[in-house]
Amino acid sequence: MNEDVNIPEEGNTEPEAFEEKKRAVKVKHPEAVIEAVLFSMGNSVEYKKLAEVLGRDVDETVRLTRSLKTKYDKDSSRGITLMELNESVQMCSKVSMYEHLIKIAKIPRKFELSEAALETLSIVAYKQPVTRLEIEKIRGVSSDHAINRLIEYGLIEELGRLPAPGRPLLFGTTEEFLRSFGVKSIDELPSATPERVEEMKKEAEEEAASVYVDI
Amino acid sequence: MNEDVNIPEEGNTEPEAFEEKKRAVKVKHPEAVIEAVLFSMGNSVEYKKLAEVLGRDVDETVRLTRSLKTKYDKDSSRGITLMELNESVQMCSKVSMYEHLIKIAKIPRKFELSEAALETLSIVAYKQPVTRLEIEKIRGVSSDHAINRLIEYGLIEELGRLPAPGRPLLFGTTEEFLRSFGVKSIDELPSATPERVEEMKKEAEEEAASVYVDI
Amino acid sequence: MSLSVKLEVFEGPLDLLLHLIEKNKVDIYDIPIAMITEQYMEYIAAIKKEDMELMSEFLVMAATLLDIKCRMLLPKEVNEEGEEEDPRAELVERLIEYKLCKYMSYELKDRQIDAVKSLFKKPTIPGEVLEYEAPVDYEQLIGNMDLEKLNRIFKAIMKRQTDKIDPVRSGFGKIEKDEVNLEERMSAISEFIRRHKFFSFRELLENQHSRMDTVVTFLVILELMKTGDIRISQEKLFDDIMITSNVAAA
């Protein structure tokens, strides 16, 4: 693959160097052949190999290929183009086509909040800052998935860590949440005041203590 | 992958059922988009899906695609074309490019179908959905081996079971069959209709008549 | 006649018969059955008897041919409509169908020759396309949810949580698990629905604190729905379930 392919320089026209070309028959429609070859191969094709198929020298092959690329690029009714890579060339879709490709290559995401996510969101909204454990205690079920989903959607975020044993993460709602729910300011929600953090810290400590007692 | 994505509507009170159509914007260069999509996807793409990307209805999409195919076919500087397969379309290299492509591309192993397999395949193609028993009745010989071979090659597939005693399996042809035999759709095959039988009868009679003259 | 032709070259008895018909240039609709049968017998007599399965299929056809030959010699049978029946009719039909199948298989073979010359390619979807993540569509995500509804959900959760804690029993060191009697609850609720036309599920749950109570009450409601004694409705997610009794005294 990585042999020394020497792309012949413009002036290099030694007639003896064309030994292996003796059986090379010039194909009639080189552009069509380049298109068909690059399409069928899918991956990159060395100019050297393409030249063999075209029955032309590498130099001319490069020239033909480049002019084909120019033709593709200039024509807005074309969705494909060529990409030069080292001593090879590959067919690809035009960058301007990506937005359309996305529609067909990607399964559209469904944006919806499950019941679990809504419950979790309401707890975060009204109890923030709140730890994972607290959410789960209130809901009575593990809420990892719902929390991750809400973070992914950008409705809640990590606010920091509670200065308590285990240093659990604290969650709160985001600005996007306020925007989406038409909340003018954070004041409309119980805010994350220092007092609330203190309160939680105490709770967490008590909890930790009670756990020890239980054991 | 292929489920119809139904965006859940909370209180679906909008009279228009064209929920997803509201975002369908007619793309500017449909030919370029068809080319880019079919090139990138490689596999066959349903007209229905292509229509979504183009922001046009299926009929217009089919029309656009066919005119693009005609354009490819007429232009001898093009090496690719399109192949219609039932309700889908796929990009492929032109048949005339084959002689050049065999020099460079890995040609997929051509499966040599036995006479028995071809007979069986033609019965499945024309009589589908068809049971093993029906195939054997027409051929006059056991066809297990041929059927298994065709399934292995992906040319026929089980379609379900006949709601009859024994619940026999029903077979039909696949998209791979259409591709491998260059058939747009089953309807396009020369029909084995009663008219065709009549035609054959006439031919036979004429033949017989000419024989008598000869004698 | 040369018997060097191996039987294996024929796909089956029908194929052999078609071959004989074509070789003798006879009309498929008027098969000289005696002649064809004779030639058919010569062929199968010549083949090796190794492949019994293949052989049996050819022998079945031989028997059919002999049967037709005999019936041709007898006075013609007449069907219900008084028409003469040709003993060859069924065989002819099968041969025609088989011939069609052969014809179609040649057609397919021809098409395959060109079709394999079209090459396809594997998907090459640009990385940027594959990595693309659609931005969150908040309008769709939030739907018609608003802060007020979120607050209702929150209150419902908090209520659910306090309901779970029996204020009296939680004071005890140990909570006794008591059995809830389904039948008892059933008759209590049946009695309730005779006296109340319209009430909510939460009303029914008043003074029921254990999870078991809730479950049993819910089961009873389902049962009463099935019997048609009540109808239920729930406006929105998390809303209280409204129950309408069909058996309440007006």
Question: Is there a domain that residue A55 lies in?
Answer: yes
Longest dimension (CA), chain B: 85
Q: Which domain holds residue A154?
A: 115-209
Model confidence at C24: pLDDT above 70: yes
Provide the whole-model pTM: 0.66
Q: Which single residue is written with the structure tokens 């020759």?
A: C113
Confidence of residue C209 (pLDDT cuts 50, 70, 90): low
Residue C91, burial from CB neighbour count under 10 angstroms (0-12, 13-18, 19+):
buried
Question: Is there a domain that residue B215 lies in?
Answer: no
Cβ separation C118–B205 shorter than 8 A: no
pLDDT: is A36 or A107 the higher one?
A36
Number of folded domains that form chain A: 2
Give the DSSP letter string of B108-131: PPPPPPPHHHHHHHHHHHHH-SEE
| Identity of residue C2 | S
Q: Of the residues A55, A76, A101, which one is the last residue of a structural domain?
A: A101
Q: How far is B4 from chain C (nearest CA, A)?
A: 17
Helices (H) and strands (E) in chain B, counts: 9, 6
Model confidence at A30: pLDDT above 70: yes
Q: Does residue A65 contact residue A117 with C-beta atoms inside 8 Å?
A: no
Model confidence at A194: pLDDT above 60: no
Confidence of residue A40 (pLDDT cuts 50, 70, 90): very high
Question: Is there a domain that residue B196 lies in?
Answer: yes
Model confidence at C26: pLDDT above 70: yes
pLDDT of amino acid A198: 65
Whether ipTM tops 0.90, in short, is no
Q: Which of B104, B87, B98, B70 is nearest to C119 (CA)?
A: B98
pLDDT: is C48 or A25 the higher one?
A25
Cβ separation B101–A34 shorter than 8 A: no
Question: For a pLDDT cut of 70, what percent of chain C falls above it?
Answer: 84
Confidence of residue A24 (pLDDT cuts 50, 70, 90): low
Facing A104 at nearest CB: one of B8, B53, B78: B53
Q: Residues of C near A (CB-CB distance < 8 A)?
A: 119-122, 124-126, 128-130, 132-134, 136-138, 140-143, 145-147, 150-151, 153-154, 157-158, 160-161, 164, 237-238
pLDDT of amino acid C49: 64
pLDDT of amino acid A190: 57
Confidence of residue C150 (pLDDT cuts 50, 70, 90): confident
* Same-domain check for residues B120 and B68: no
Q: How far is C131 from chain A (nearest CA, A)?
A: 9
Q: Which residue of chain B has the CA closest to A51?
A: B104
Facing C120 at nearest CB: one of B10, B42, B115: B42
| Identity of residue A188 | E
d(CA C18, CA A68): 56
Q: Where are the alpha helices (DSSP H) in chain A?
A: 30-41, 47-54, 58-74, 98-105, 115-127, 132-139, 144-152, 175-180, 194-214
Element (H, E) at C231: strand C230-233
Q: How far is C87 from chain B (nearest CA, A)?
A: 18
Question: Is there a domain that residue A38 lies in?
Answer: yes
Q: Does residue C15 contact residue B201 with C-beta atoms inside 8 Å?
A: no
* Same-domain check for residues A97 and A44: yes
Q: Does residue C104 contact residue B126 with C-beta atoms inside 8 Å?
A: yes
* Same-domain check for residues A75 and A135: no
Q: Tally B–C CB contacts below 8 A.
A: 140
Would you state the torsion angle of the CA atoms of residues A110, A111, A115, A118, taken in this order, to the nearest 10 degrees? 170
Q: Which two tokens stand for residue C197?
A: 């036309």
pLDDT: is A2 or C201 the higher one?
C201
Q: Which residue of chain C has the CA closest to B110?
A: C116
* Same-domain check for residues B92 and B131: no
Interface test mutation site (partner C, options A91, A102, A139, max chain C beta carbons within 10 A): A102
Q: Of the residues B101, B127, B148, which one is the last residue of a structural domain?
A: B101
pLDDT per residue as tens digits for the range A133-185: 889 988 888 899 999 999 999 999 998 888 877 888 999 888 888 888 877 66
d(CA A63, CA C175): 88
Model confidence at A118: pLDDT above 80: yes
Model confidence at A203: pLDDT above 80: no
pLDDT: is B83 or C200 the higher one?
B83
Return the DSSP state at C82.
S
pLDDT: is A10 or A31 the higher one?
A31
Model confidence at A95: pLDDT above 60: yes
pLDDT per residue as tens digits for the range A51-87: 999 999 999 999 999 999 999 999 999 999 999 988 9
Model confidence at A214: pLDDT above 50: no
Q: Write the CATH number for A136.
A: 1.10.10.10
pLDDT of amino acid C84: 77
pLDDT of amino acid A70: 95
pLDDT of amino acid A166: 81
Cβ separation A181–C151 shorter than 8 A: no
- Neighbouring chains of B at 3+ CB pairs under 8 Å are A, C
d(CA B139, CA C14): 7
Could you say which residues of chain B have pLDDT below 70? 1-24, 190-198, 200-215
Question: Is there a domain that residue A181 lies in?
Answer: yes
Distance of CA C179 to the CA centre of its chain: 44
Q: Residues of A near C (CB-CB distance < 8 A)?
A: 36, 39-43, 92-93, 95, 98, 101-102, 105-106, 108-109, 111-113, 115, 118-119, 121-123, 125-126, 138-140, 153-154, 176, 179-183, 188
* Same-domain check for residues B37 and B95: yes
Q: Which residue of chain A has the CA closest to B107?
A: A40
Q: Tally A–B CB contacts below 8 A.
A: 110
* Same-domain check for residues B141 and B77: no
pLDDT of amino acid A68: 96
Q: Does residue B115 contact residue C105 with C-beta atoms inside 8 Å?
A: yes
Q: Which of B122, B103, B87, B96 is nearest to B192 (CA)?
A: B122
pLDDT of amino acid B192: 58
pLDDT of amino acid A7: 43
At a CB cut-off of 8 Å and minimum separation 6, what does C219 contact? C182
Q: Of the residues A76, A101, A126, which one is the last residue of a structural domain?
A: A101
* Same-domain check for residues A120 and A197: yes
Model confidence at C31: pLDDT above 70: yes
Cβ separation A32–B1 shorter than 8 A: no
Cβ separation B11–C144 shorter than 8 A: yes
Distance of CA B19 to the CA centre of its chain: 31
* Same-domain check for residues B94 and B39: yes
* Same-domain check for residues B119 and B65: no
Model confidence at A4: pLDDT above 70: no
Cβ separation A181–C145 shorter than 8 A: yes
At a CB cut-off of 8 Å and minimum separation 6, what does B204 contact? C27, C28, C29
Question: Is there a domain that residue A184 lies in?
Answer: yes
Q: Which two tokens stand for residue C45?
A: 């007599």
Question: Is there a domain that residue B73 lies in?
Answer: yes
Question: Is there a domain that residue B3 lies in?
Answer: no
* Same-domain check for residues A22 and A89: yes
pLDDT of amino acid A164: 79
* Same-domain check for residues A186 and A123: yes
**Helix then strand then coil, % of chain A, to nearest 5:** 55, 15, 35
pLDDT of amino acid C208: 66
Confidence of residue A88 (pLDDT cuts 50, 70, 90): very high
Give all domains of chain C, ordered by start, each with its CATH number. Answer: 13-116 (no CATH), 185-245 (1.10.10.580)
pLDDT of amino acid A12: 45
Mean pLDDT of chain A: 80
* Same-domain check for residues B88 and B131: no
Q: How far is C213 from chain A (nearest CA, A)?
A: 17
